[in-house]
Amino acid sequence: MRTAWLDKNIKWVFTLPAVLFVILMMAFPIFYTVRISFFEWSMSAVTPPRWVGLDNYIELLNSERFWQSVKATLYFTVLALVVETVLGVAIALVLFREYKGKNIAKTLFLLPMVSTPVAMGLVWLLIYEPTIGAANMMLKWFGFKPLEWLGNVNQAIPSLAIIDIWQWTPMVCLIVMAGLSTLPKDPYESAEVDGASAWQKLIYITLPLVRPTIIVAMMLRLIDVLKTFDIIYATTQGGPGSASETLNIYTYMLGFQFFKLGSASSLLVIFFTIILIFTLLMIWIRKRLGA
């Protein structure tokens, strides 16, 4: 009897743990965050949440600090994503070639990706130190003026982007190399017969064929860069002033420094919407390019 019931409902028995996990760990937090975004609450056990409707959203959209954080988030994202993609593809093309010591070079190149972001943030804090840091020592060695790096309003975001590029370009490279390993050999053999140069094979065969993989890598990095928190908090905490205060950092400030849980939740809902729009845009571009 029991065996017959299991055979009949086996598809539900196997999928139930995954469904429960999604409901408890994903659906419930999203629903709770959306609900709290319509309340004013300071995490007090004495004062219950007070319904304010759309006031939290209206207050945020009229806030200059919110738009500054949007600008910082987009600036950091575009800068890091573009450089990581270009460098990742270029390095993947180099590392994919056959040469002596290839495996050692690949292992060394992938090391930044496995390091802890907060620890690397502290290391880069020392590298960017204006007086004794290695970054300014190198600039002086090449005859350039020292920079303030993380301490300058205009240099903070590019400096943070350099850290992200250093750590996560290997990930783009790794994904592109996986795509390169699956390319068919027939087009290259035909190109050899037609006398195509190495540059022509790269432009007309390799890049078009590996384009779907590059777009997937960009999509993964886009989502990750948009929600970067650890490196920024470990180095600048959103400073100087609010120059490097991205949406994630601003949400943390609202929630755990100002204890405005309602505003922080509404900001998270807006942030989630922005990430969703960018992801859908990347999917649309991928389909548009026939990738």
Q: Is residue 9 part of a domain?
A: no
- Asked if the peptide bond before residue 130 counts as cis, ω within 30 degrees of 0, the response is no
pLDDT tens readout for residues 109-153:
888 888 888 888 889 999 999 888 899 999 999 998 889 999 999
Q: Range of 77's domain?
A: 61-289
The structural domain count of the chain equals: 1
For residue 1, the model assigns a pLDDT of 60
For residue 283, the model assigns a pLDDT of 85
Q: How far is it, in rounded angstroms, from Cα 11 to Cα 6?
A: 9
Helix, strand, coil shares of the chain, percent, nearest 5, are: 75, 0, 25
Q: Is residue 41 part of a domain?
A: no
Q: Is residue 80 part of a domain?
A: yes
Q: Is residue 285 part of a domain?
A: yes
Q: Is residue 268 part of a domain?
A: yes
Q: Is residue 37 part of a domain?
A: no
Q: What is the reported pTM?
A: 0.88
What residues contact residue 30 under an 8 Å CB cut-off, 6+ apart?
272
Q: Is residue 21 part of a domain?
A: no
For residue 116, the model assigns a pLDDT of 84
Q: Is residue 33 part of a domain?
A: no
Mean pLDDT of all residues in the chain?
89
- Residue 273's nearest CA partner among 238, 235, 249, 247 is 247
Pairing status of strand 50-51 against strand 39-40 = antiparallel
What is the CATH classification number for the domain harbouring 282?
1.10.3720.10
pLDDT less than 50: residues of the chain: none
- Residue 221's nearest CA partner among 174, 273, 177 is 174
Q: How far is CA 283 from the centre of its chain?
A: 16
For residue 198, the model assigns a pLDDT of 87
For residue 61, the model assigns a pLDDT of 92
